[in-house]
Homo-oligomer: A and B are copies of this chain.
Amino acid sequence: MNIRVIRHLREMMDFSDAVRARGERIGFVPTMGYLHEGHLSLMREARRRASTVVASIFVNPTQFGPNEDLSRYPRDFARDCAMMETVPVDVVFAPEGSDMYPPRAQTWVEVTEITRGLCGKGRPGHFRGVTTVVAKLFNIVKPHLAFFGEKDFQQLRAIQQMVADLNFDIEIVPMPIVREPDNLAMSSRNAYLTPEQHSDALALSCAIGAARKNFACARTANELVDTAAKILNRAGIAVEYVEVVDAETLAPTTSLEAPVLLAIAARVGKTRLIDNIVLSRAS
């Protein structure tokens, strides 16, 4: 195995200091593991744009709610390493939970506005956990560039806002959603789905596709929401939200003049899935 596994925080910092001292650039892909093609697309872009590629695998407890799937979140470190070697990734940073959150840890990084709606409504504390762990990882890995998928669009916007507001000297590179051949957005949580549930879950990407097609003639955000909602409801899955929001602020909007985000969250069986698309008159 050629990939270097670093488990200790100080060792990771020292590695990155040495890379930086050589004047080289570090590209970073933070993940919770159980990798799929979406993650690999981020790592390949990091490979293209940086001389050293670091990926982290850490199932972050602070971004899971008390009734969420922390304990059963899928894990397969050996398979993840094998996949990362195909990129290749140089270093995988896989810290222990007790090192990341020692007993008296009590500091939170919170982005307030962008995290208010959409997934922030149904998952209180989730984004606070995400921005806190990403701030920590940024300080440990010290990257020049960090790569995030647009599948978790609200997460991407929260991190971009955190980086701007806290003046992290890091370029955030957003990367497009990667989909299965049948159009289901790739997610580690797809592993939970039975074949029948997988087939039900296609309603999400189908609703997204319909919204994209109808966008040119749509006059209001409501029309787009209605089209998507109909498709989701027909599939008999439990819709958490279908919303059109301003693509920059993620605030609710009725107008379609500025770029908007159509975002969906729904539960298929016990599995919570999300999907989205940015729609813009200019593009």
Contacts from A to B (Cβ < 8 Å): 9, 13, 17, 20-21, 23, 102, 104-114, 131-132, 135-136, 139-140, 142, 161-162, 164-169, 249
Contact = CB atoms under 8 A, between A and B. Distances in A.
B135 A166 contact: yes
A136 B106 contact: no
Contact of A139 (B105, B114, B166): B166
A169 to B, nearest CB: 5
Contact of A106 (B111, B139, B169): B111
27 contacts: A9-B167, A13-B167, A13-B169, A21-B23, A104-B161, A104-B249, A105-B164, A105-B165, A106-B161, A107-B109, A107-B131, A107-B162, A107-B165, A107-B166, A108-B109, A108-B110, A109-B109, A109-B110, A109-B135, A109-B166, A110-B110, A132-B166, A136-B166, A139-B166, A139-B167, A140-B167, A140-B169
A112 B136 CA distance: 17
Nearest to A113: B106
A132 to B, nearest CB: 8
A132 B135 CA distance: 13
Nearest to A101: B165
Which of A20, A106, A168: most chain B Cβ within 10 A? A106
B139 A107 contact: no
Which of A13, A21, A108, A111: most chain B Cβ within 10 A? A108
A136 B111 CA distance: 14
Given A107-B131, A107-B161, A114-B106, A136 B167 contact: yes
